[in-house]
Structure 1
Amino acid sequence: MELIARLEERFDKMLNKIKQLEEENQFLLEELEQERNKREEVRSRIESLLGKVETDLE
């Protein structure tokens, strides 16, 4: 029985680790999406500024 109890404990630890990694993965995916959005916003603002410069130079 001791062997089964140890296996159950290890199995529970592995399941907890999987859950922890899934949560961390979700957090990282959300951070990645935020960074992509920021990058897109910066790109859009730069393009807008370049458009204004081009208009002023004409």
Structure 2
Amino acid sequence: MSSTSSMVAIDGRDALAFVIVRPGQDGTGVSIEAAANGMGKAQAAYVLRYVAAQFDKDAAAETPE
């Protein structure tokens, strides 16, 4: 992972939830910030599982057999 820092502005006024994944401070892991406002945690978890399944599907398509 790159140690380059950058600033990003996102207009999240209409966002129901967000997840930010950053490189960990020790350089070996990640730091995760997440919140759900305007939707239940169970609904947010469902959406995140859906996204994870899509990532898995895309990753499987990228991996040569």
Greater percentage in helix: 1
Greater percentage in strand: 2
Q: Which of structures 1 and 2 has the bigger CA Rg?
A: 1
TM-score by length of 1: 0.43
TM-score by length of 2: 0.38
